[in-house]
Structure 1
Protein backbone atom coordinates (compact mmCIF):
# COMPACT_ATOMS: atom_id res chain seq x y z
CA UNK A 1 0.00 0.00 0.00
CA UNK A 2 1.39 3.44 -1.10
CA UNK A 3 2.11 5.86 1.65
CA UNK A 4 0.55 9.37 1.59
CA UNK A 5 2.64 12.42 0.68
CA UNK A 6 4.47 13.97 3.53
CA UNK A 7 3.90 17.59 4.48
CA UNK A 8 7.36 18.52 3.23
CA UNK A 9 6.64 16.96 -0.17
CA UNK A 10 3.37 18.86 -0.46
CA UNK A 11 5.04 22.12 0.48
CA UNK A 12 7.78 21.47 -2.06
CA UNK A 13 5.21 20.90 -4.83
CA UNK A 14 3.32 24.05 -3.86
CA UNK A 15 6.51 26.12 -3.96
CA UNK A 16 7.51 24.73 -7.37
CA UNK A 17 4.04 25.37 -8.80
CA UNK A 18 4.07 28.90 -7.41
CA UNK A 19 7.42 29.61 -9.05
CA UNK A 20 6.22 28.21 -12.38
CA UNK A 21 3.03 30.26 -12.10
CA UNK A 22 4.99 33.47 -11.49
CA UNK A 23 7.27 32.76 -14.45
CA UNK A 24 4.30 32.00 -16.69
CA UNK A 25 2.43 35.11 -15.58
CA UNK A 26 5.48 37.28 -16.21
CA UNK A 27 5.92 35.80 -19.69
CA UNK A 28 2.23 36.35 -20.45
CA UNK A 29 2.35 39.96 -19.24
CA UNK A 30 5.44 40.69 -21.33
CA UNK A 31 3.82 39.18 -24.42
CA UNK A 32 0.67 41.24 -23.86
CA UNK A 33 2.68 44.39 -23.17
CA UNK A 34 4.72 43.94 -26.36
CA UNK A 35 1.53 43.30 -28.32
CA UNK A 36 -0.09 46.45 -26.91
CA UNK A 37 3.05 48.47 -27.69
CA UNK A 38 3.21 47.15 -31.24
CA UNK A 39 -0.49 47.82 -31.82
CA UNK A 40 -0.19 51.41 -30.58
CA UNK A 41 3.00 52.07 -32.54
CA UNK A 42 1.50 50.66 -35.75
CA UNK A 43 -1.61 52.81 -35.32
CA UNK A 44 0.55 55.87 -34.70
CA UNK A 45 2.72 55.06 -37.74
CA UNK A 46 -0.39 54.81 -39.91
CA UNK A 47 -1.81 58.13 -38.69
CA UNK A 48 1.49 59.94 -39.18
CA UNK A 49 2.01 58.42 -42.64
CA UNK A 50 -1.50 59.38 -43.74
CA UNK A 51 -1.04 62.98 -42.60
CA UNK A 52 2.35 63.27 -44.30
CA UNK A 53 0.95 61.77 -47.51
CA UNK A 54 -1.94 64.27 -47.56
CA UNK A 55 0.42 67.21 -47.10
CA UNK A 56 2.89 65.92 -49.70
CA UNK A 57 0.15 65.25 -52.25
CA UNK A 58 -1.27 68.75 -51.92
CA UNK A 59 2.20 70.30 -52.09
CA UNK A 60 3.06 68.35 -55.24
CA UNK A 61 0.29 70.30 -57.01
CA UNK A 62 1.33 73.74 -55.78
CA UNK A 63 2.15 76.75 -57.92
CA UNK A 64 5.80 76.85 -56.83
CA UNK A 65 6.42 80.60 -56.69
CA UNK A 66 3.35 81.18 -54.51
CA UNK A 67 4.55 79.05 -51.58
CA UNK A 68 5.19 81.01 -48.39
CA UNK A 69 6.12 80.49 -44.74
CA UNK A 70 4.27 82.69 -42.30
CA UNK A 71 3.33 83.48 -38.75
CA UNK A 72 -0.35 83.81 -37.85
CA UNK A 73 -2.57 86.35 -39.65
CA UNK A 74 -1.03 89.79 -39.26
CA UNK A 75 2.44 88.38 -38.54
CA UNK A 76 5.55 88.16 -40.65
CA UNK A 77 5.61 86.12 -43.86
CA UNK A 78 8.33 85.20 -46.32
CA UNK A 79 8.72 83.17 -49.47
CA UNK A 80 9.41 79.56 -48.50
CA UNK A 81 13.19 79.67 -49.09
CA UNK A 82 13.50 82.64 -46.70
CA UNK A 83 11.40 81.21 -43.87
CA UNK A 84 12.81 80.43 -40.41
CA UNK A 85 11.68 78.89 -37.10
CA UNK A 86 9.27 81.76 -36.43
CA UNK A 87 7.13 80.73 -39.37
CA UNK A 88 4.94 77.79 -38.37
CA UNK A 89 2.33 78.03 -41.15
CA UNK A 90 2.89 76.76 -44.69
CA UNK A 91 0.68 78.29 -47.40
CA UNK A 92 0.42 78.13 -51.20
CA UNK A 93 -1.83 78.46 -54.26
CA UNK A 94 -2.99 75.06 -55.46
CA UNK A 95 -3.08 74.10 -59.13
CA UNK A 96 -6.69 73.23 -59.97
CA UNK A 97 -5.86 69.63 -60.89
CA UNK A 98 -9.41 68.51 -60.09
CA UNK A 99 -10.68 70.50 -63.08
CA UNK A 100 -7.67 70.12 -65.38
CA UNK A 101 -8.06 66.58 -66.71
CA UNK A 102 -11.63 65.30 -66.89
CA UNK A 103 -12.55 61.64 -67.33
CA UNK A 104 -15.53 60.90 -69.56
CA UNK A 105 -17.11 57.47 -69.83
CA UNK A 106 -17.48 56.01 -73.31
CA UNK A 107 -20.23 53.69 -72.14
CA UNK A 108 -20.73 50.38 -70.37
CA UNK A 109 -17.57 48.25 -70.60
CA UNK A 110 -16.01 50.72 -73.02
CA UNK A 111 -13.68 52.49 -70.63
CA UNK A 112 -13.15 56.24 -70.58
CA UNK A 113 -11.06 58.97 -72.10
CA UNK A 114 -9.56 62.18 -70.76
CA UNK A 115 -10.37 65.66 -72.01
CA UNK A 116 -8.69 68.87 -70.90
CA UNK A 117 -10.87 70.98 -68.65
CA UNK A 118 -8.17 73.62 -69.00
CA UNK A 119 -5.08 72.90 -71.05
CA UNK A 120 -2.56 75.30 -69.54
CA UNK A 121 -1.89 76.93 -72.92
CA UNK A 122 -2.99 80.37 -74.14
CA UNK A 123 -3.18 81.62 -77.72
CA UNK A 124 -1.18 84.82 -77.22
CA UNK A 125 -1.85 85.95 -80.78
CA UNK A 126 -5.47 86.79 -79.98
CA UNK A 127 -5.51 90.39 -78.82
CA UNK A 128 -7.65 91.14 -75.75
CA UNK A 129 -8.79 87.54 -75.25
CA UNK A 130 -7.39 84.77 -73.06
CA UNK A 131 -8.21 81.81 -75.30
CA UNK A 132 -7.16 78.49 -73.79
CA UNK A 133 -6.21 76.11 -76.58
CA UNK A 134 -7.87 72.68 -76.47
CA UNK A 135 -9.90 73.42 -73.32
CA UNK A 136 -13.44 72.71 -72.17
CA UNK A 137 -13.73 75.50 -69.62
CA UNK A 138 -17.45 75.02 -69.10
CA UNK A 139 -16.86 71.48 -67.84
CA UNK A 140 -13.96 72.65 -65.68
CA UNK A 141 -16.24 75.29 -64.18
CA UNK A 142 -18.88 72.72 -63.27
CA UNK A 143 -16.31 70.67 -61.36
CA UNK A 144 -15.10 73.75 -59.46
CA UNK A 145 -18.71 74.68 -58.65
CA UNK A 146 -19.19 71.20 -57.19
CA UNK A 147 -16.04 71.57 -55.09
CA UNK A 148 -17.35 74.84 -53.64
CA UNK A 149 -20.93 73.64 -53.15
CA UNK A 150 -23.16 74.99 -51.64
CA UNK A 151 -21.39 78.32 -52.33
CA UNK A 152 -22.59 79.47 -55.79
CA UNK A 153 -20.37 80.50 -58.70
CA UNK A 154 -17.19 78.77 -57.56
CA UNK A 155 -16.05 78.86 -61.19
CA UNK A 156 -15.83 82.67 -61.07
CA UNK A 157 -13.00 84.78 -59.68
CA UNK A 158 -10.29 82.20 -60.33
CA UNK A 159 -6.59 83.02 -60.45
CA UNK A 160 -4.34 82.67 -63.49
CA UNK A 161 -0.58 82.89 -63.12
CA UNK A 162 1.53 82.84 -66.26
CA UNK A 163 4.59 80.60 -66.27
CA UNK A 164 7.58 82.84 -66.91
CA UNK A 165 5.46 85.95 -66.41
CA UNK A 166 5.85 88.78 -63.91
CA UNK A 167 7.70 87.92 -60.69
CA UNK A 168 6.25 88.70 -57.28
CA UNK A 169 8.42 90.87 -55.06
CA UNK A 170 6.78 89.83 -51.78
CA UNK A 171 3.98 87.54 -50.53
CA UNK A 172 1.75 90.64 -50.48
CA UNK A 173 1.63 90.45 -54.27
CA UNK A 174 -0.40 87.24 -53.94
CA UNK A 175 -2.85 88.72 -51.42
CA UNK A 176 -1.69 86.81 -48.35
CA UNK A 177 -2.16 89.88 -46.14
CA UNK A 178 -5.93 89.66 -46.51
CA UNK A 179 -6.01 93.02 -48.29
CA UNK A 180 -7.13 92.63 -51.90
CA UNK A 181 -5.97 96.15 -52.75
CA UNK A 182 -2.38 94.94 -52.34
CA UNK A 183 -2.69 92.10 -54.85
CA UNK A 184 -0.34 92.68 -57.78
CA UNK A 185 -2.47 92.13 -60.87
CA UNK A 186 0.62 92.04 -63.04
CA UNK A 187 1.37 88.77 -61.23
CA UNK A 188 -2.14 87.35 -60.72
CA UNK A 189 -4.98 87.69 -63.21
CA UNK A 190 -8.54 87.22 -61.90
CA UNK A 191 -10.82 85.48 -64.41
CA UNK A 192 -14.19 83.80 -64.82
CA UNK A 193 -14.84 80.66 -66.85
CA UNK A 194 -17.37 82.18 -69.21
CA UNK A 195 -17.15 79.96 -72.27
CA UNK A 196 -15.70 76.78 -73.67
CA UNK A 197 -12.28 78.24 -74.48
CA UNK A 198 -12.22 81.91 -73.47
CA UNK A 199 -11.49 83.30 -70.02
CA UNK A 200 -13.39 86.41 -68.98
CA UNK A 201 -10.54 88.57 -67.67
CA UNK A 202 -11.71 90.69 -64.73
CA UNK A 203 -8.53 92.02 -63.23
CA UNK A 204 -5.17 92.11 -64.99
CA UNK A 205 -2.85 95.09 -65.23
CA UNK A 206 -2.28 96.61 -68.63
CA UNK A 207 1.18 95.89 -69.96
CA UNK A 208 1.71 92.78 -67.83
CA UNK A 209 3.63 89.92 -69.41
CA UNK A 210 1.47 87.19 -70.95
CA UNK A 211 3.11 83.89 -71.86
CA UNK A 212 1.81 80.83 -73.65
CA UNK A 213 1.59 78.68 -70.52
CA UNK A 214 -0.41 79.27 -67.36
CA UNK A 215 -1.56 77.78 -64.07
CA UNK A 216 -5.20 77.97 -62.97
CA UNK A 217 -6.07 78.02 -59.27
CA UNK A 218 -9.46 77.87 -57.56
CA UNK A 219 -8.14 77.77 -53.98
CA UNK A 220 -5.13 78.28 -51.77
CA UNK A 221 -4.10 75.83 -49.04
CA UNK A 222 -2.54 76.28 -45.61
CA UNK A 223 -1.10 73.82 -43.10
CA UNK A 224 -1.78 75.40 -39.72
CA UNK A 225 -0.69 74.09 -36.29
CA UNK A 226 -3.28 74.60 -33.57
CA UNK A 227 -2.73 75.98 -30.08
CA UNK A 228 -0.45 73.93 -27.82
CA UNK A 229 -2.01 72.14 -24.87
CA UNK A 230 -0.85 73.82 -21.65
CA UNK A 231 -0.24 70.48 -19.92
CA UNK A 232 1.19 68.20 -22.60
CA UNK A 233 2.63 70.76 -25.03
CA UNK A 234 0.97 68.86 -27.88
CA UNK A 235 -1.04 70.44 -30.69
CA UNK A 236 -3.28 69.47 -33.60
CA UNK A 237 -2.55 70.24 -37.26
CA UNK A 238 -5.20 71.45 -39.71
CA UNK A 239 -5.51 71.77 -43.48
CA UNK A 240 -7.31 74.94 -44.66
CA UNK A 241 -8.77 75.22 -48.17
CA UNK A 242 -11.52 76.84 -50.29
CA UNK A 243 -10.34 80.42 -49.85
CA UNK A 244 -8.82 82.88 -52.32
CA UNK A 245 -6.04 85.26 -51.26
CA UNK A 246 -6.24 87.06 -54.62
CA UNK A 247 -9.68 88.26 -53.48
CA UNK A 248 -8.40 89.35 -50.07
CA UNK A 249 -9.49 86.17 -48.27
CA UNK A 250 -7.35 84.54 -45.58
CA UNK A 251 -7.27 80.89 -44.58
CA UNK A 252 -9.52 81.72 -41.62
CA UNK A 253 -12.31 82.36 -44.14
CA UNK A 254 -11.91 78.94 -45.73
CA UNK A 255 -12.93 75.46 -44.71
CA UNK A 256 -10.64 73.28 -42.64
CA UNK A 257 -10.20 69.69 -41.60
CA UNK A 258 -8.11 67.97 -38.96
CA UNK A 259 -4.99 66.29 -40.34
CA UNK A 260 -3.62 64.80 -37.14
CA UNK A 261 -3.87 65.14 -33.36
CA UNK A 262 -1.19 65.28 -30.65
CA UNK A 263 1.69 66.55 -32.77
CA UNK A 264 4.94 67.42 -31.03
CA UNK A 265 6.58 69.10 -34.01
CA UNK A 266 5.89 70.39 -37.50
CA UNK A 267 8.73 72.11 -39.29
CA UNK A 268 9.59 72.78 -42.92
CA UNK A 269 12.04 74.57 -45.15
CA UNK A 270 12.41 75.50 -48.79
CA UNK A 271 15.44 74.65 -50.86
CA UNK A 272 15.62 75.98 -54.43
CA UNK A 273 11.95 75.35 -55.08
CA UNK A 274 11.83 72.04 -53.21
CA UNK A 275 10.15 71.64 -49.82
CA UNK A 276 11.28 69.42 -46.97
CA UNK A 277 9.09 68.93 -43.93
CA UNK A 278 8.99 66.84 -40.77
CA UNK A 279 6.00 65.84 -38.66
CA UNK A 280 6.26 64.24 -35.21
CA UNK A 281 3.30 62.87 -33.26
CA UNK A 282 2.88 61.29 -29.82
CA UNK A 283 0.52 58.51 -28.74
CA UNK A 284 -1.49 59.34 -25.61
CA UNK A 285 -3.42 56.05 -25.71
CA UNK A 286 -0.65 53.69 -24.65
CA UNK A 287 -1.42 50.97 -22.06
CA UNK A 288 -1.55 52.28 -18.47
CA UNK A 289 1.74 50.70 -17.46
CA UNK A 290 3.41 52.35 -20.44
CA UNK A 291 2.20 55.87 -19.73
CA UNK A 292 5.60 56.81 -18.34
CA UNK A 293 7.10 56.02 -21.75
CA UNK A 294 6.67 58.64 -24.48
CA UNK A 295 6.11 57.04 -27.84
CA UNK A 296 6.81 59.59 -30.57
CA UNK A 297 6.86 58.86 -34.30
CA UNK A 298 8.54 61.27 -36.74
CA UNK A 299 8.08 61.28 -40.51
CA UNK A 300 10.09 63.28 -43.03
CA UNK A 301 9.20 64.03 -46.63
CA UNK A 302 10.68 65.99 -49.52
CA UNK A 303 8.45 67.38 -52.27
CA UNK A 304 9.97 68.48 -55.55
Structure 2
Protein backbone atom coordinates (compact mmCIF):
# COMPACT_ATOMS: atom_id res chain seq x y z
CA UNK A 1 0.00 0.00 0.00
CA UNK A 2 1.42 3.38 -1.05
CA UNK A 3 1.03 6.23 1.41
CA UNK A 4 0.51 9.79 0.07
CA UNK A 5 1.86 12.88 1.78
CA UNK A 6 0.38 16.37 1.34
CA UNK A 7 0.39 19.76 3.03
CA UNK A 8 -2.12 20.23 5.71
CA UNK A 9 -4.49 23.17 5.57
CA UNK A 10 -2.59 24.86 8.38
CA UNK A 11 0.70 24.53 6.49
CA UNK A 12 -0.83 25.98 3.34
CA UNK A 13 -2.26 28.92 5.24
CA UNK A 14 1.12 29.60 6.90
CA UNK A 15 2.89 29.53 3.52
CA UNK A 16 0.38 31.96 2.04
CA UNK A 17 0.72 34.28 5.02
CA UNK A 18 4.54 34.21 4.83
CA UNK A 19 4.49 34.86 1.08
CA UNK A 20 2.13 37.80 1.64
CA UNK A 21 4.43 39.28 4.27
CA UNK A 22 7.46 38.90 1.99
CA UNK A 23 5.59 40.45 -0.94
CA UNK A 24 4.44 43.36 1.21
CA UNK A 25 7.94 44.04 2.47
CA UNK A 26 9.35 43.74 -1.06
CA UNK A 27 6.84 46.22 -2.52
CA UNK A 28 7.61 48.71 0.26
CA UNK A 29 11.32 48.38 -0.50
CA UNK A 30 10.74 48.84 -4.23
CA UNK A 31 8.49 51.85 -3.61
CA UNK A 32 11.06 53.36 -1.23
CA UNK A 33 13.86 52.84 -3.76
CA UNK A 34 11.77 54.42 -6.52
CA UNK A 35 10.87 57.45 -4.35
CA UNK A 36 14.54 57.89 -3.40
CA UNK A 37 15.45 57.77 -7.08
CA UNK A 38 12.85 60.43 -7.87
CA UNK A 39 14.11 62.65 -5.04
CA UNK A 40 17.76 62.26 -6.11
CA UNK A 41 16.92 63.04 -9.73
CA UNK A 42 14.86 66.08 -8.71
CA UNK A 43 17.59 67.38 -6.38
CA UNK A 44 20.21 67.06 -9.13
CA UNK A 45 17.95 68.81 -11.62
CA UNK A 46 17.16 71.65 -9.20
CA UNK A 47 20.83 72.10 -8.27
CA UNK A 48 21.78 72.40 -11.94
CA UNK A 49 18.89 74.75 -12.70
CA UNK A 50 19.64 77.01 -9.72
CA UNK A 51 23.33 77.18 -10.59
CA UNK A 52 22.61 78.00 -14.25
CA UNK A 53 20.17 80.80 -13.35
CA UNK A 54 22.62 82.37 -10.90
CA UNK A 55 25.38 82.12 -13.50
CA UNK A 56 23.19 83.84 -16.11
CA UNK A 57 22.51 86.72 -13.72
CA UNK A 58 26.16 86.95 -12.65
CA UNK A 59 27.42 87.04 -16.25
CA UNK A 60 25.28 90.10 -16.95
CA UNK A 61 26.11 91.76 -13.65
CA UNK A 62 29.85 91.49 -14.24
CA UNK A 63 29.53 94.11 -17.01
CA UNK A 64 27.41 96.44 -14.89
CA UNK A 65 28.24 100.10 -14.39
CA UNK A 66 28.48 99.83 -10.62
CA UNK A 67 27.10 103.25 -9.72
CA UNK A 68 24.02 102.57 -11.86
CA UNK A 69 22.90 99.48 -9.93
CA UNK A 70 19.67 100.04 -8.01
CA UNK A 71 17.09 98.11 -6.00
CA UNK A 72 13.44 98.74 -6.82
CA UNK A 73 10.11 97.98 -5.21
CA UNK A 74 7.06 96.75 -7.10
CA UNK A 75 5.49 100.22 -6.74
CA UNK A 76 8.34 101.72 -8.81
CA UNK A 77 10.25 103.45 -6.01
CA UNK A 78 13.98 102.76 -5.92
CA UNK A 79 17.26 103.55 -4.23
CA UNK A 80 20.94 102.75 -4.71
CA UNK A 81 21.59 99.05 -4.18
CA UNK A 82 24.02 99.72 -1.32
CA UNK A 83 21.26 101.31 0.75
CA UNK A 84 18.49 98.80 0.03
CA UNK A 85 16.95 96.10 2.23
CA UNK A 86 14.83 92.97 1.77
CA UNK A 87 11.70 95.01 0.94
CA UNK A 88 13.23 95.78 -2.47
CA UNK A 89 12.55 92.81 -4.73
CA UNK A 90 13.92 94.02 -8.10
CA UNK A 91 17.56 94.56 -9.02
CA UNK A 92 18.26 96.83 -12.00
CA UNK A 93 21.40 98.12 -13.70
CA UNK A 94 22.98 99.46 -16.89
CA UNK A 95 25.73 97.39 -18.49
CA UNK A 96 28.44 98.68 -20.75
CA UNK A 97 28.18 97.31 -24.27
CA UNK A 98 30.75 94.54 -24.12
CA UNK A 99 29.52 92.88 -27.31
CA UNK A 100 30.24 95.97 -29.43
CA UNK A 101 33.85 96.01 -28.22
CA UNK A 102 34.69 92.71 -29.86
CA UNK A 103 36.35 93.73 -33.09
CA UNK A 104 39.83 94.78 -34.17
CA UNK A 105 40.02 97.73 -33.71
CA UNK A 106 37.37 97.64 -30.97
CA UNK A 107 33.94 99.10 -31.61
CA UNK A 108 34.79 101.83 -29.10
CA UNK A 109 38.15 102.39 -27.49
CA UNK A 110 37.00 103.84 -24.17
CA UNK A 111 39.36 106.84 -24.45
CA UNK A 112 38.70 110.39 -25.57
CA UNK A 113 41.62 112.46 -26.86
CA UNK A 114 41.05 115.68 -24.95
CA UNK A 115 43.89 117.39 -26.83
CA UNK A 116 42.70 116.53 -30.31
CA UNK A 117 41.34 119.42 -32.35
CA UNK A 118 38.23 117.39 -33.16
CA UNK A 119 37.24 117.17 -29.49
CA UNK A 120 35.20 120.34 -29.40
CA UNK A 121 31.98 119.37 -27.56
CA UNK A 122 29.64 118.00 -28.71
CA UNK A 123 32.23 116.15 -30.83
CA UNK A 124 34.52 113.65 -29.07
CA UNK A 125 37.55 112.16 -30.81
CA UNK A 126 37.98 108.54 -29.72
CA UNK A 127 41.00 107.13 -31.53
CA UNK A 128 41.20 103.47 -32.59
CA UNK A 129 37.42 103.04 -32.51
CA UNK A 130 35.36 101.18 -35.10
CA UNK A 131 32.06 102.93 -34.44
CA UNK A 132 30.38 101.46 -37.53
CA UNK A 133 30.88 97.99 -36.07
CA UNK A 134 29.62 99.19 -32.69
CA UNK A 135 26.52 100.67 -34.32
CA UNK A 136 25.74 97.51 -36.29
CA UNK A 137 26.24 95.30 -33.24
CA UNK A 138 24.04 97.43 -30.99
CA UNK A 139 21.34 97.57 -33.66
CA UNK A 140 21.38 93.78 -34.04
CA UNK A 141 21.20 93.23 -30.27
CA UNK A 142 18.34 95.68 -29.74
CA UNK A 143 16.21 94.89 -32.79
CA UNK A 144 17.06 98.28 -34.25
CA UNK A 145 16.09 100.26 -31.15
CA UNK A 146 19.66 101.54 -30.73
CA UNK A 147 21.59 102.77 -33.76
CA UNK A 148 24.54 105.17 -33.61
CA UNK A 149 23.58 106.62 -36.98
CA UNK A 150 19.99 107.60 -36.08
CA UNK A 151 18.93 110.49 -33.86
CA UNK A 152 16.43 109.31 -31.26
CA UNK A 153 18.07 105.87 -31.12
CA UNK A 154 21.28 106.94 -29.44
CA UNK A 155 23.52 104.78 -27.29
CA UNK A 156 24.54 106.12 -23.89
CA UNK A 157 28.04 107.43 -23.21
CA UNK A 158 28.96 107.24 -19.53
CA UNK A 159 32.18 108.73 -18.21
CA UNK A 160 34.22 106.64 -15.78
CA UNK A 161 33.75 109.00 -12.86
CA UNK A 162 31.70 108.66 -9.65
CA UNK A 163 27.94 109.17 -9.94
CA UNK A 164 24.87 108.79 -7.76
CA UNK A 165 22.22 106.27 -8.76
CA UNK A 166 19.79 109.10 -9.54
CA UNK A 167 22.14 110.42 -12.24
CA UNK A 168 21.28 107.52 -14.58
CA UNK A 169 17.70 108.53 -15.34
CA UNK A 170 15.87 105.86 -13.38
CA UNK A 171 12.21 106.81 -13.10
CA UNK A 172 9.60 105.93 -10.46
CA UNK A 173 7.06 103.80 -12.29
CA UNK A 174 6.52 105.32 -15.72
CA UNK A 175 7.94 108.76 -14.90
CA UNK A 176 10.33 109.89 -17.65
CA UNK A 177 13.52 111.33 -16.16
CA UNK A 178 16.67 111.53 -18.27
CA UNK A 179 19.94 111.29 -16.37
CA UNK A 180 23.03 113.48 -16.48
CA UNK A 181 25.29 110.41 -16.39
CA UNK A 182 23.88 108.88 -19.60
CA UNK A 183 24.80 111.16 -22.49
CA UNK A 184 23.01 110.27 -25.71
CA UNK A 185 25.49 109.86 -28.55
CA UNK A 186 25.60 109.09 -32.26
CA UNK A 187 28.62 108.75 -34.56
CA UNK A 188 30.01 111.15 -37.13
CA UNK A 189 28.87 110.27 -40.66
CA UNK A 190 32.35 110.46 -42.18
CA UNK A 191 34.78 109.83 -39.30
CA UNK A 192 34.45 106.42 -37.70
CA UNK A 193 36.11 107.52 -34.47
CA UNK A 194 34.12 110.64 -33.57
CA UNK A 195 31.14 110.52 -31.23
CA UNK A 196 28.58 113.33 -31.16
CA UNK A 197 26.72 114.15 -27.95
CA UNK A 198 23.05 115.06 -28.29
CA UNK A 199 22.80 118.86 -28.20
CA UNK A 200 20.63 118.89 -25.05
CA UNK A 201 23.01 116.57 -23.17
CA UNK A 202 26.35 118.37 -23.61
CA UNK A 203 27.96 118.47 -20.13
CA UNK A 204 30.20 121.11 -18.62
CA UNK A 205 33.02 118.64 -18.04
CA UNK A 206 34.49 116.08 -20.43
CA UNK A 207 36.54 113.17 -19.05
CA UNK A 208 39.07 110.98 -20.80
CA UNK A 209 37.65 107.54 -19.96
CA UNK A 210 34.18 106.43 -21.01
CA UNK A 211 32.00 103.40 -21.79
CA UNK A 212 29.11 102.95 -24.21
CA UNK A 213 25.85 101.24 -23.25
CA UNK A 214 22.97 99.96 -25.34
CA UNK A 215 20.72 98.35 -22.70
CA UNK A 216 19.63 98.27 -19.08
CA UNK A 217 18.68 95.05 -17.29
CA UNK A 218 16.25 94.11 -14.52
CA UNK A 219 15.69 90.86 -12.63
CA UNK A 220 12.04 90.91 -11.62
CA UNK A 221 10.03 88.42 -9.49
CA UNK A 222 6.63 88.05 -11.14
CA UNK A 223 3.46 86.33 -9.98
CA UNK A 224 2.83 85.61 -6.30
CA UNK A 225 5.93 87.47 -5.09
CA UNK A 226 4.68 87.58 -1.49
CA UNK A 227 4.38 83.78 -1.48
CA UNK A 228 6.80 80.99 -2.28
CA UNK A 229 5.92 80.17 -5.87
CA UNK A 230 6.75 82.84 -8.45
CA UNK A 231 8.70 83.27 -11.68
CA UNK A 232 11.99 85.13 -12.08
CA UNK A 233 12.07 87.22 -15.26
CA UNK A 234 14.92 88.99 -17.04
CA UNK A 235 13.95 92.31 -18.63
CA UNK A 236 16.37 93.77 -21.19
CA UNK A 237 16.62 96.04 -24.22
CA UNK A 238 15.24 99.16 -22.59
CA UNK A 239 17.08 102.45 -22.19
CA UNK A 240 16.70 104.85 -19.23
CA UNK A 241 18.34 107.57 -21.34
CA UNK A 242 15.53 107.48 -23.95
CA UNK A 243 12.22 108.81 -22.59
CA UNK A 244 10.06 106.50 -24.70
CA UNK A 245 11.92 103.37 -23.56
CA UNK A 246 13.04 104.12 -20.01
CA UNK A 247 10.93 101.51 -18.16
CA UNK A 248 11.78 97.81 -18.03
CA UNK A 249 8.17 96.97 -18.90
CA UNK A 250 8.87 98.48 -22.36
CA UNK A 251 11.73 96.10 -23.15
CA UNK A 252 12.07 92.42 -23.98
CA UNK A 253 11.61 89.60 -21.47
CA UNK A 254 12.92 86.10 -20.83
CA UNK A 255 11.86 83.75 -18.05
CA UNK A 256 14.91 82.69 -16.07
CA UNK A 257 13.20 80.30 -13.65
CA UNK A 258 9.77 79.06 -12.61
CA UNK A 259 8.68 77.93 -9.12
CA UNK A 260 11.05 80.26 -7.30
CA UNK A 261 10.54 80.45 -3.54
CA UNK A 262 13.23 83.03 -2.71
CA UNK A 263 15.30 85.63 -4.55
CA UNK A 264 17.42 88.00 -2.48
CA UNK A 265 20.33 90.31 -3.18
CA UNK A 266 22.48 92.71 -1.20
CA UNK A 267 25.60 94.75 -1.73
CA UNK A 268 28.65 94.42 0.52
CA UNK A 269 31.15 97.10 -0.39
CA UNK A 270 31.70 96.44 -4.13
CA UNK A 271 30.35 92.87 -4.02
CA UNK A 272 26.81 91.76 -4.83
CA UNK A 273 25.54 88.68 -3.01
CA UNK A 274 22.73 86.72 -4.64
CA UNK A 275 20.57 84.01 -3.08
CA UNK A 276 18.12 81.92 -5.08
CA UNK A 277 15.80 79.07 -4.05
CA UNK A 278 13.87 76.97 -6.59
CA UNK A 279 11.44 74.15 -5.77
CA UNK A 280 9.97 71.30 -7.81
CA UNK A 281 6.27 72.11 -7.15
CA UNK A 282 5.94 68.50 -5.88
CA UNK A 283 6.63 67.03 -9.30
CA UNK A 284 7.77 63.77 -7.65
CA UNK A 285 4.23 63.21 -6.37
CA UNK A 286 5.55 62.11 -2.99
CA UNK A 287 3.69 64.86 -1.14
CA UNK A 288 6.83 66.81 -0.25
CA UNK A 289 8.05 69.90 -2.09
CA UNK A 290 11.79 69.70 -2.71
CA UNK A 291 13.68 73.00 -2.72
CA UNK A 292 17.32 73.86 -3.44
CA UNK A 293 18.97 77.13 -2.39
CA UNK A 294 22.26 78.48 -3.70
CA UNK A 295 24.24 81.69 -3.27
CA UNK A 296 26.67 83.49 -5.56
CA UNK A 297 28.97 86.48 -5.18
CA UNK A 298 29.53 88.88 -8.08
CA UNK A 299 32.53 91.22 -8.02
TM-score if structure 1 supplies the norm length? 0.86
CA distance in structure 2 between the partners assigned to 1:154 and 1:26 by the alignment: 68
Q: Which residue does 2:136 correspond to in 1?
A: 142
Q: Which residue does 1:67 correspond to in 2?
A: 69
CA distance in structure 1 between the partners assigned to 2:166 and 2:271 by the alignment: 21
Q: Which residue does 2:108 correspond to in 1?
A: 118
CA apart distance, 1:64: 0.8
Where in structure 2 are the equivalents of 1:98-177 lying within 5 Å? 98-102=99-103, 114-126=104-116, 127-128=119-120, 129-149=123-143, 151=145, 153=147, 156-164=153-161, 167-169=162-164, 171-177=165-171
Number of matched pairs: 283
Point out where structure 2 has 5 or more consecutive residues left out of the alignment.
none
Where in structure 2 are the equivalents of 1:1-304 lying within 5 Å? 3-72=5-74, 74-75=76-77, 77-102=78-103, 114-126=104-116, 127-128=119-120, 129-149=123-143, 151=145, 153=147, 156-164=153-161, 167-169=162-164, 171-177=165-171, 179-180=175-176, 182-185=177-180, 187-194=181-188, 195-202=191-198, 203-208=200-205, 210-228=206-224, 233-248=228-243, 249-288=246-285, 290-291=286-287, 293-304=288-299
Query: 1:252-282: CA deviations, max 9, x gaps?
Result: 1111111111111111111222111111122
Return 256-265 or 199-208, whichever deviates more. Answer: 199-208
CA distance in structure 2 between the partners assigned to 1:206 and 1:5 by the alignment: 105
CA apart distance, 1:73: 5.1
CA apart distance, 1:225: 0.9
Provide the secondary structure at the position in 1 that maps to 2:265. Answer: strand
Provide the secondary structure at the position in 2 that maps to 1:142. Answer: helix
Query: 1:67-99: CA deviations, max 9, x gaps?
Result: 011113542x11111111221110100111111
Point out where structure 1 has 5 or more consecutive residues left out of the alignment.
103-113
RMSD, aligned α-carbons: 2.1
Provide the secondary structure at the position in 2 that maps to 1:160. Answer: strand
CA distance in structure 1 between the partners assigned to 2:89 and 2:277 by the alignment: 14
Cα distance 1:179–1:173, how it changes in 2: closer, same or farther (>3 A)?
farther
CA distance in structure 2 between the partners assigned to 1:119 and 1:150 by the alignment: 23
CA distance in structure 1 between the partners assigned to 2:16 and 2:5 by the alignment: 19
Q: After TM superposition, what 4+ stretches of structure 1 lie above 6 angstroms from structure 2?
A: none
Provide the secondary structure at the position in 2 that maps to 1:245. Answer: coil
CA apart distance, 1:296: 1.5
CA apart distance, 1:17: 1.5
CA distance in structure 2 between the partners assigned to 1:212 and 1:58 by the alignment: 25
CA apart distance, 1:229: 6.9
CA distance in structure 1 between the partners assigned to 2:71 and 2:201 by the alignment: 26
CA distance in structure 2 between the partners assigned to 1:47 and 1:93 by the alignment: 25
CA distance in structure 2 between the partners assigned to 1:26 and 1:45 by the alignment: 28
Provide the secondary structure at the position in 1 that maps to 2:108. Answer: coil
CA distance in structure 2 between the partners assigned to 1:229 and 1:90 by the alignment: 14
TM-score if structure 2 supplies the norm length? 0.87
